[in-house]
Structure 1
């Protein structure tokens, strides 16, 4: 997958400026796909140049005009064609797991501290995802119905974080026994 389809998907849901898009990206897709602010703007310009996005300018007082992007029919067709293609399952790419794999170079205290940091980060992510889920569950039922498949990505994130937390807690118990 590429950033291109993440951008098309977010603009399919609702047109917006580059800033709007980045905020929406950070609240949703960034949990399973990363991109910098610069990458996002480069992709917007590429998609516009390819005719997959329209761009209208909204005048703003005392500021440059705001560019609002939306999908063209060609952009919607490209998104629809892509979403129907099978994608291979991705392997985990987690730097911490490489460090842990080389964990024989750590003292027990260093290993425990590293696992504890990961546990805290994954607990925080889990908390954030659970809060997002509550907002989804309190949203308009018609919106929930339309985007129920998108909601499944959040539910998978919740399950993944629960697994990380449980795994790290077991690992810490084992380290404490050493």
Structure 2
């Protein structure tokens, strides 16, 4: 069974406690994982069809029944199997590389400004969060800092190229 990262995280959460889709969305957001309520509900439906999670409906007066999701024995086995996954290192092929090949200095000037603004926001979040909850944001902050350093390097190299052309 091929499970997405989102599905694995959802499974880990409902393994700890029974959750509604809404509560799961809030929980993941607090931990730094961004996924829409619709995406989570769609994946919960898929996981239920695969027998990975089960659903318990709890009646509520004056409201629709609350749907609580929990991990099944099959889901627990899948979650355990996921622990044996070998790590992979992502390749970077993004729009920044395209603009590097285009020697688009303006793009990198804008990118540096955006990265610095994002670093401020992330730094504030890390300083306010408890240590474990701050780890995903701290990781993102490190990536953004590295991206900013690389962007500054690109701007220097592009300036050198311009100077060499002018000479």
C-alpha spacing 1:11/1:85, structure 2 compared with 1 (3 Å): same
Question: Given the superposition, is the C-alpha separation of residues 121 and 159 from structure 1 closer, same or farther in structure 2, using an over 3 Å criterion?
Answer: closer
Q: Which residue of 2 aligns with 1:143?
A: none
C-alpha distance in 1 between matches for 2:140 and 2:126? 7
Matched, 1:163 2:166: no
Kindly provide the CA deviation profile for residues 92-128 of structure 1, in whole angstroms up to 9, marking residues without a partner as x: 3654x23642563454xx6433320222023212322
Q: Distance in 2 between matches of 1:40 and 1:127?
A: 28
TM-score (norm 1): 0.68
Give the aligned partner of residue 100 of structure 2.
Answer: 101
5+ long unaligned stretches in structure 1? 138-149
In the superposition, the TM-score normalised over structure 2's length comes to 0.72
Q: What does residue 124 of structure 1 align with?
A: 121
Match of 1:113 in 2: 110
SS at match of 1:60: coil
The answer (yes or no) to whether the contact 1:119–1:164 under 8 Å persists in 2 is no
TM-fit CA distance, 1:151: 7.3
Q: Specify whether residues 105 and 136 from structure 1 end up closer, same or farther in structure 2 by C-alpha distance, changes over 3 A only.
A: closer
> Please, which runs of 5 or more residues in structure 2 have no aligned partner?
none
Say how many residue pairs are matched: 157
Tell me the residue number matched to 1:45: 45
Q: Which has the larger radius of gyration?
A: 2
Is residue 2:55 matched to residue 1:55?
yes
Match of 1:21 in 2: 24
Deviation at 1:154, TM superposition (A): 5.2
Structure 2 distance, partners of 1:79, 1:38, is 23
Determine if contact 1:6/1:29 at 8 Å carries over to the other structure: no
> How far, CA to CA, are the matches of 1:92 and 1:13 in structure 2?
34
